[in-house]
Structure 1
């Protein structure tokens, strides 16, 4: 089974390195080594910087791919119209288990990211810079980088800069959740759509973009648009950072020019020559099959044409030996547990979709498949944030990419293969902060009598199968469901359920497990 990815995997480059230039000089480029590798950087006026971003077709590298020039101009226009100073935010959140590209940059080349962020801050006249991170290693690296430049959050400075730590969760990396966290609230989407360029941090117009995006801006400002475009395809010039995991020899982050054949990048990471499928763009992305892999190149347009996505740059192949639907179910359960719990499509729909996929895999037949398609369609486009849409996209892509395997499960009850668990998911070692002390619901099938009360109490985690017995999602119990999950355990007439904690102490309780008393204990010890 695949282990969680390390913070800083091995790094390689295809062709001449740009973002990873100087990585052969040191494990982490301090400010002096950074300047040795990249040279100085001159400031730019706002419109000139926006034109540069347009000329290199710079889009956000966090997954959404929004044009950076449009975002820059929107913030500038809003700041001028309102007469307030804007804020610049570097989104270094990387709660995607299959992504490490931003973490690599934050750990090894923090000054390249700061170059781009400070360039934008100078162009906009911003006086506040915030870098948002999720891991110990990235926080340490960025705090050291700010100190090396003499930047701090003390009053009276021309530019106040600080680092903000958020939980390592998928939903915490969404732009609205980042702004909310910087403002002192929980790192969760607020449930309403608002543009940071109008009102972000402290209500000020905010330029918020991904860590790699700012690093790309710093590279382009140094070399100019013509030289920047000598690498990659004309429509998407430059290089991209990819994280390769799954069925590979070892996880690796690769800097590669756009236009390079995808099969070459997979070969570089030691992937199978004919993978059963490749998940592109991460767990909100899409699958492409083996035939499409050999026809695709690394670019947004090419991957989208094959049914995939460049997204946040995660590329995860799986081999022929594993059940692809089983692999998808592991991810679907994790996505359901990542819910912010703030809207029905996320709170109810995603666990129901994961349960529906489990029904299909378990031999539920055409009825189970139709139910899965129905719940997935009901989730799409109705969430308060983008998490339900991305999760629905992943499930829809799974059903479209593995039709042979799907037919085997629907028509014959299974494909005959075990689930190898090659797609990376967080493990107990990665659990920290509010996520410490994971809880899972377990059922003792020797006691369960199929009463179904548990499914009535917490339908987000427990569903009743066609055989009348509960199906429990193999997922961590989200914080907002813990109360009802414990109530379901207490209400079970057969005493067949329990909650186990996989890490960390129970708040207000030093036991590692919430144990259900045996019948003998409840009967006062009578035999």
Structure 2
């Protein structure tokens, strides 16, 4: 299926998104923007990626050089030809950066995969995707590229949260179910076709292609000394921006016309909520976020508007994550469902018993799953309890916070009854910016003074996603979805 097409832009010099302001880069425009792609020997590849500290940009942040070294060692041991897999599945609803790359600059991603494959003497590269439009974009790019000794293909897999887990991706590409194996087998030892496989996500290979052209010194001219380069961030589930590493998170939000609101979710639905105070000092940096107990993960940055219930929003995501279970172990199948139930009970009914039940189930699934899905979901819920203590206290002791649950976090419509929704305008806040009408022109009509003609507008199920986008785009926070 095809989802939201992300808005793209950059703050500072663009590297990965260079040239995309004019739309998709075909092969000719790609070559004009980025220039010739050099070949790297294996030792040169490892040295370069060490010097720039290139890490996986899909969540875990594992050093890319160590992945390459692991594949090299496995090839020496088994005397088999390795393979390369590009993870472009991006099952996280709050992330669109890999989608943005594959829709707008697919050749940069393919260049990075080709550089790695040639260095490792791999004979095959497979790009795993889920969206129809991404599949078509990559196919078109492959048709535009000249033939090489490395066979590059693209395969479509089911669109699920867990599809992007390493073993799930390789299982799916090998013809099996795209589900985590539950076995601690490294892809570098046995992946595509049971061969040693270098697997990393789309942005990582795009960064590699940029570094191969720039060299380590020029690559490090942007970013920080410890973390050079740029990073792609998905802001509010709709805009993909390229930013130098080391800038304040609040600067990114300001440039997107947003504020932290009640708090900031960083790293997506396996990430962590940050309070406004922490958000104000946190930087776009692994080290900065680590010092606050968080991680950049897959690059999702989600501000929470002040008019919605934090616990209710977290409960919707918890329910969605329970539904995305791989259905292979008790903590994932039963534990996450119970955690979602208890969090919903705390949100709606409240009480100390419900609070204790949530804490018990948060602890109960940790470290017991066949993959990281239960752990990531548990940490996400736990971080909400920590980041919104006053809201939690109101639900435990005061009968709730009194705010509706607007469903502002991207879930592809999951978990929200959108059949009777309405979009409402708070006239005391509205400043006639008009951005909402750009997002939802079939619902919001502006008068000659620039203000919406109505303060209460029905929203159909099909319009739900754009209605939520309109709420998030409003700089004055004057909109809300109710129903």
Residue equivalent to 1:148: 144
Question: Please, which of 35, 42, 45 is the counterpart of residue 41 of structure 2?
Answer: 45
Residue equivalent to 1:294: 280
Cα distance 1:439–1:329, how it changes in 2: closer, same or farther (>3 A)? closer
Distance 1:54 1:387 in 2: 29
Alignment partner of 1:317: what SS? strand
Question: Please, which of 67, 83, 86 is the counterpart of residue 63 of structure 2?
Answer: 67
Shift of 1:305: 1.9
Q: Is the 8 A contact 1:7 1:103 kept in 2?
A: no
Write out per-residue CA displacement over residues 247-304 of structure 1, whole angstroms, 9 at most, x where no aligned residue: xxxx3111000111111101112213x5100000000000001111111111111122
Write out per-residue CA displacement over residues 354-413 of structure 1, whole angstroms, 9 at most, x where no aligned residue: 011012112341111111111111101110011111101101111111110000000112
| 1:395 lines up with 2:381 in the alignment | yes
Distance 1:99 1:21 in 2: 20
Residue equivalent to 1:319: 305
Distance 1:282 1:298 in 2: 14
Residue equivalent to 2:175: 184
Q: Is the 8 A contact 1:7 1:137 kept in 2?
A: no
Question: Please, which of 19, 25, 35 is the counterpart of residue 16 of structure 2?
Answer: 19
Residue equivalent to 2:405: 419
Shift of 1:439: 13
Cα distance 1:389–1:68, how it changes in 2: closer, same or farther (>3 A)? same
Distance 1:55 1:267 in 2: 32
| 1:372 lines up with 2:372 in the alignment | no
Residue equivalent to 1:342: 328
Distance 1:352 1:176 in 2: 26
What is the CA RMSD across the aligned residues, in angstroms? 1.9
| 1:105 lines up with 2:96 in the alignment | no
List aligned pairs for 1:121-520, cutoff 5 A.
121-151=117-147, 158-245=149-236, 251-272=238-259, 274-427=260-413
Alignment partner of 2:85: what SS? strand
Distance 2:98 2:187 in 1: 21
Which structure 1 segments of 5+ residues have no match?
152-156, 429-437, 441-501, 504-527
Shift of 1:42: 1.1
Write out per-residue CA displacement over residues 140-185 of structure 1, whole angstroms, 9 at most, x where no aligned residue: 011111111145xxxxx83222111011111011011001011000
Write out per-residue CA displacement over residues 97-116 of structure 1, whole angstroms, 9 at most, x where no aligned residue: 11000000001110000110
Q: Is the 8 A contact 1:5 1:98 kept in 2?
A: no
Shift of 1:210: 0.3
Distance 1:324 1:7 in 2: 24
Write out per-residue CA displacement over residues 13-67 of structure 1, whole angstroms, 9 at most, x where no aligned residue: 111100011113x311111110000000110110110110000010000001000
Distance 2:9 2:293 in 1: 27
Q: TM-score, normalised by structure 2?
A: 0.84
Cα distance 1:258–1:73, how it changes in 2: closer, same or farther (>3 A)? same
Alignment partner of 1:237: what SS? coil
Q: Is the 8 A contact 1:283 1:331 kept in 2?
A: yes
Larger Cα-atom Rg: 1
Alignment partner of 2:361: what SS? helix
Write out per-residue CA displacement over residues 103-147 of structure 1, whole angstroms, 9 at most, x where no aligned residue: 000011100001100000000000011000010111001111111
**Structure 1 runs (4+) greater than 3 angstroms displaced:** 4-7
Q: Is the 8 A contact 2:2 2:131 kept in 1?
A: no
Distance 2:413 2:124 in 1: 36
| 1:28 lines up with 2:24 in the alignment | yes
Shift of 1:307: 3.1
Q: Is the 8 A contact 1:91 1:211 kept in 2?
A: yes
Write out per-residue CA displacement over residues 409-432 of structure 1, whole angstroms, 9 at most, x where no aligned residue: 00112011111211111138xxxx
Shift of 1:7: 3.5
Alignment partner of 2:20: what SS? coil
Residue equivalent to 2:450: none
Which structure 2 segments of 5+ residues have no match?
418-460, 463-483
Q: TM-score, normalised by structure 1?
A: 0.77
Q: Is the 8 A contact 1:5 1:97 kept in 2?
A: no
Write out per-residue CA displacement over residues 328-357 of structure 1, whole angstroms, 9 at most, x where no aligned residue: 011000000000111000000000000110
